[in-house]
Amino acid sequence: MSTSSISLSPISLSIPQHQDTRPKGACVDCKRLKKRCDRASPACTNCAKASRTCEFKDLSEDGLLSPISSAKSIDTLTFGTLLDILITKQRVKEAVTLYFRGVNTWFTIVEKASYERQLDTAWDKLPAEASVLALCMALMARPPNQKSSKIGDTVYHTTKAILGLVQSKAPMSVPLLQAELLVAMYEFSQSMPQQAYLSLGRCLQMTKAFGWHGAVFWAEDRKASMARDLKLYSILWWAIVYLDCLLNVGYQDQTFPMHTAGLEAVSMIPLPENFDQHLASSSPFQLGAQGQEQGFRDSNGDRIEGMIVPEATSAWYLSRVLEQLSDPALPGNVDTKTLSTMIWQHAQDISAAKWRAGDRNAAVGTDLIALMKLNHPGLLGGADPLSLLSDPQAVQRIRVLTTVIHGKAGKIAASEHRLSTGVEAPCWAFAMSYASLLLISHGNGVLQDADWFSRVENLMTSIEKVSKRWIIAARYCETVKIALENRLNGYAQ
């Protein structure tokens, strides 16, 4: 063939265009950090600057199966979840600090010094138990519903899910009990009684598995040789009793039986201060001759040796009151006057002490709840249920209690910061609602309180403010509103 027959026209080459097969939207880290993603290849600008691996995730992969199946270990999965929520080590430490400055001042179940040390030294290889405990601390430390979705509070549901995964892989341990207790307290305070009841039940089962319900576990020789460990176990046990009692009195419309009612462990397990004599850093609670405090009561409270937990004694008193009210003929019952004096003295001792961290308002609030519960029947018929006469001593105690609680309500309403940081315990919402109901029912009767209506209005205002931090307060506020409307309608008729 001659060359003249050969076409010299340019050859048309088809250069393949780069096709972006990555899922649409921002990369995983930009989504998590809420930053604009330029989707640059091979890594977006944000990831390139931070030297991060730039990954894109298909929305069809949403669900629990994908992250679980791709996780290297339960430790990395839990740690990754912690960073998904809190982003950086600094923010994790800030959340933990907020917890210790707030909730842990009245629900003292974690030793501050040892946990913060573990967070610093083991950050690169943080165990699953430590990561999930940090998540639970952050859950309690923050106001509710900051990241809500169609299924509710996503931080709560994520924390609950990862805690379940850790429990399915790791052996039972004290950190997992602490984490479960924090979840139970969150559920109680955010108006989830069924979930709180189930979580508290898991806590109780763990204590049985640990052997805490056996008398040998608390033998005298072990108190001396294992004082530090046993004190922590005692603190956790009485935290369970404390929450169990609050769950019982705070959700009276529920039919859940108490977990700890009638258990021998309630009378067998010593209170935390019983171990202090075996611990070098502990010192007895002493007030000066004129009632002046000799330094901070909790000056060494960052470590087990110096942790002071008056809420444990308050829990014992409230459980005792509930037990006596359920069975007035129970052997060993203490008469109302004597028990009232003991509880009142405990509340006064706490109020008189000087506290470095918080003011132990949960212990005082719980004592006042116990006193109202104990003396309420006296407004109706005294010691004799068939009598129509009220008990004058019970009437006077209730008058004092409603006055004290009304005064506290004014302080709560004036301190938004204490509420937002979690320093104010949720039990005060019930204490204020209980005082309101007593005033509504008896303020114009045996209590002879001419200002009962204005007091109830003030109490309701404070309960509404508490509901912004602890949702359970909204439940109590509604109960008070209904009772007040019924009372006023009764007057109108």
Question: Is residue 417 located within the same domain as residue 447?
Answer: yes
Provide the pLDDT for residue 259: 96
Q: What is the pLDDT of residue 293?
A: 42
Give the residue among 152, 211, 213, 202 at the shortest CA–CA distance from 180. Answer: 202
Q: Does the structure show a pLDDT above 60 at 362?
A: yes
Q: Which domain holds residue 275?
A: 220-366
Which uninterrupted H or E stretch holds 317? Answer: helix 310-326
Question: Is the pLDDT score of 295 beyond 90?
Answer: no
Where residue 202 falls among pLDDT bands split at 50, 70, 90?
A: very high
Quote the pLDDT of residue 131: 97
pLDDT for 70 equals: 59
| Averaged pLDDT, 31-36 | 80
pLDDT at 286 over 70: no
Instruction: State the pTM of this model.
Output: 0.84
- Measured distance CA(278)–CA(488) in Å, rounded: 58
**Number of domains observed in the structure of the chain:** 3
> Does some domain include residue 237?
yes
CA pseudo-torsion sign 345, 351, 353, 355: positive
If asked whether residues 422 and 287 sit together in one domain, one would say: no
Q: Is it the case that residue 288 has pLDDT exceeding 60?
A: no
**Residues written for the chain:** 493
Question: 270-284, 441-455, 469-483: which range is least confident on average?
Answer: 270-284
What are the pLDDT digits (tens) for 348-361?
A: 999 999 998 788 99
- The per-residue pLDDT for 151 is 62
Q: Are 400 and 368 in contact (CB under 8 A)?
A: no
Domain membership flag for residue 52:
no
Average pLDDT value over all residues in the chain: 88
Whether residue 425 contacts residue 365, with contact meaning beta carbons closer than 8 Å, is answered with yes
Dump pLDDT digits (tens) for 122-170: 999 999 999 999 999 999 998 876 556 666 678 899 999 999 999 999 9
Say if 2 falls within a structural domain.
no
Q: Is the pLDDT of residue 247 over 70?
A: yes
Joined tokens for residue 378: 């006296």
> Mean pLDDT across the stretch 322-333?
90
In a domain, 441, yes or no: yes
Give the domain-ending residue among 210, 237, 252. 210
**The pLDDT of residue 147:** 52
In a domain, 152, yes or no: yes
| 241 and 347 fall within a common domain | yes
Q: Are residues 224 and 186 in the same domain?
A: no
Per-residue pLDDT at 55: 84
> Do 362 and 224 belong together in one domain?
yes
